[in-house]
Amino acid sequence: MADRLKGKNILITGASGGLGERIAYYSAAEGAEVILTARSEARLQTVREKIISDLGAACRTFVLDVSRTEEIESVFKAAGPIDILVNNAGFGIFEPALEASLEDMKSMFEVNVFGLIACTKMALPHMTAQNSGHIINIASQAGKISTPKSSLYAATKHAVLGFSNSLRMELAETGVNVTTVNPGPIRTDFFNAADKTGDYVKSIGKWMLDPDQVAQKIVSIMLTNKREINLPVWMSGVSKLYQLCPAVVEKIGRGAFYKK
């Protein structure tokens, strides 16, 4: 692992906390230079200082709102060539479609989908030119199992999976790998916005994934041709069953799905 990542430039969006921060930490521990982006400069600096003090690793930061294309272009030019891109920035709001605002819908697509695609397009020219690289897109089990009260969020993650799967085939002869990460609920600040009532976290709190374990799994497959990471295993099994028998899963699981 150390040899594979040593000296590689890894850019991570949404790296000021949660899963992105942990991916940065474990990547730096393996000898990579991590380039952290997020909207909060103060939080980025906190993560950077921890990485430098704990690991003595190279770490750069850039303030970036991935919903702003002009900022993406500027940051990627300043960052220079990227060997691994982790598209982690994203958010969700759990509301029925009838109640969700068009503004929230637009914001989720701008960050979760359009921002991810724009970052990918900025990173790809160098990767294809050197015939190696890795695009890692943080999607969700919501992109595989549609559930009530997350229709807009699920739509963005379905889009991420569709884009990633097509991109993987387009890049098959280039040496650039594309991996999607499809986790279930992770114990991070994501739910501060997604689950404003706190009911969902109360219902499934004991099943939530540890961000450190998810991050370590992601770092372990960097610069390999791993197609997908699906976590937890039991939820991955449900998503496979859903693909085969959607009506059955929707009928049996409706009560559980409404727990959010």
Q: Which residues pair with 177 in a beta bridge?
A: 134
Q: Which one-letter amino acid corresponds to residue 226?
A: K
**By three-state DSSP, how is residue 171 classified?**
coil
177 dihedral zone (left: phi>0; alpha: psi -120 to 50; beta):
beta
Are residues 123 and 171 in contact, defined by beta-carbon separation less than 8 angstroms?
no
**Is 153 labeled as catalytic in the residue annotation?**
yes
Q: Which one-letter amino acid corresponds to residue 219?
A: V
The catalytic residue among 25, 153, 200, 242 is 153
Rounded (5°) CA angle 61-63-68:
140
Are residues 20 and 42 in contact, defined by beta-carbon separation less than 8 angstroms?
no
So which residues are the catalytic ones? 153
